[in-house]
Amino acid sequence: MFCTMFLELLLAVIAGAVLYYFIFRKNNEELPMGDGWWGPGQRRESEEDESIRPFKIETTDEELNDLFHRIDQTRYSEPLEGSRFNYGFNSTYLRKVVSYWRNGFNWRKQLDIINKYPHFKTKIEGIDVHFIHVKPTNLPAGRSAKPILMVHGWPGSFYEFYKIIPFLTDPRSHSLSDDQVFEVICPSIPGYGFSEPSHKQGCNSVAVARIFYKLMQRLGFHEFYTQGGDWGSLICTNLAQIAPSNVKGLHLNMVAVSGSNSRLPQLLSVLFGQRFPGLFGLQEEDVRRMFPFSSKVFYHLVKESGYMHLQATKPDTAGCGLNNCPVGLAAYILEKFSTWTDRDFRDYEDGGLERKFTLDDLLTNIMIYWLSGSIVSSMRFYKENMGKGLGAAKHETVLVKVPTGVASFPNELMHCPLYWAKQKYVNIISFNYMPRGGHFAAFEEPEILAKDIQQFVAKVSQK
């Protein structure tokens, strides 16, 4: 018994020494800005049209009639008894969703909501980039708004931010402090929604970060904040790596740390963290979320990551059916809004979808994918970023030195404790455990996320 405890203690001390090396060693490598061309054919010799054009999302009757026709032709399969959402989207509940989509959902009304914010397009590196740009409505006298770039992920869209924008641009009217007022820019990732997809291979997160950097420069913002989860987290991280003097602060609601710098510290904390949490800088909440690791992290990721393998290997094959069947598209996407919001929702007949979202909001996101025909191009983003394997990209080894804030939501797909995050983000000035919420934080808990962004920016401003 004594020998076993001594051996564990010795291993923990060795682990601590190794961790010290990994945490405190310096990495001065920078991520180059680079350049690219993602339009069709060869890059033109003439200068690119840098004009910013107003844009309005519109839908024809023919498009809606085609959608309804396809919905009416749907074939359903019966679910297994008692399966709920453990086999995927339960088709009994899917019938209810589709019935509402076909007979109760008012897309014209939702279009008015979508178009209430100003939309624009501009050509960058050969492709049209769509974005919304929302300025504050009640800016206090003598104050200036802080520009913030907010980037969505998959299977979301710019619409994810519609509920958080009022808290950021007009906080006083929404019972928040107006010490920090923002000017919000939400672009669509190329190949998502109304941003043109790349016509060439290789348009990965670093390329998109550079495109969004050029967008902010074109809008006249030479210093700005960034915020993101999912792919938005990676894109904003890459932006901070290629333009650290321009990014005043980086706020994330999802942190995924991989690469050679972090593998050993993560492995050691997984092996010994439950028994020696203090040695690895783990808080009580970290232990609660992570252990036992096999059931709370590993098996959950196995259950939820099948889509990732498909999209990182053969996105065009997996996506061709979704691009032609609106009900299949809805089931594929909405399942993620169930189990990524709360893993326990798998045991609900309706996947718990309407406990956190409205069908109007969920179907609006589906309509953005359907009408823009962007499901295949959005899925390709996984292959561009993961086709060479996790941790293989150069940006994985480049430290992020800009002030960083992390909002850690309890139902995120994978919990990243502070000391893991510090392997990559070496200037974390705010790390907070959120009281509730999952993967789609801005969509699900906009007020909580807005407050965390506000306090983070206040800390950056005081430095």
- Return the active site residues: 230, 382, 439
Q: Please state, in angstroms and rounded to a whole number, the distance separating the CA atoms of residues 421 and 167.
A: 27
**Sign of the CA dihedral with 150 first, then 156, 161, and 164 last:** negative
SS3 call for 55 = strand
Strand 119-124 vs strand 127-134: parallel, antiparallel, or unpaired? antiparallel
Q: Please state, in angstroms and rounded to a whole number, the distance separating the CA atoms of residues 114 and 108.
A: 10
DSSP letter string, 81-115: TT-TTBTBS-HHHHHHHHHHHHHT--HHHHHHHHT
Q: Are 150 and 433 in contact (CB under 8 A)?
A: no
Dig out the tokens for 124 from the structure: 């960058």
Helix axes 91-103, 359-372, angle to 10 degrees: 80
**Strand order across the beta sheet in which 182-187 lies:** 52-55, 119-124, 127-134, 182-187, 146-151, 224-228, 247-252, 404-408, 428-433
Give, in order, the Cα–Cα distances in Å from 143 to each of 9, 134, 139.
56, 16, 7
- Count of helix runs (H) and strand runs (E) in the chain: 20, 9
Q: Are 25 and 262 in contact (CB under 8 A)?
A: no
SS3 assignment for 361-390 = HHHHHHHHHHHHCCHHHHHHHHHHHHCCCC
User: Which element (helix H / strand E) includes 166?
Assistant: helix 165-169
338 closest CA partner among 349, 351, 354 = 351
Task: Give the distance, in angstroms, between the CA of residue 360 and the centroid of all CA atoms in the same chain.
Answer: 21
What is the Cβ-side half-sphere exposure of residue 438, based on CA atoms within 13 angstroms?
17
φ/ψ (deg, to 5) at 341: -85, -40
User: How long, in residues, is the chain?
Assistant: 463
Q: Please state, in angstroms and rounded to a whole number, the distance separating the CA atoms of residues 256 and 424.
A: 10
φ/ψ (deg, to 5) at 278: -65, -30
Any bridge partners for residue 122, and if so which?
52, 129
Q: Please state, in angstroms and rounded to a whole number, the distance separating the CA atoms of residues 239 and 244.
A: 8
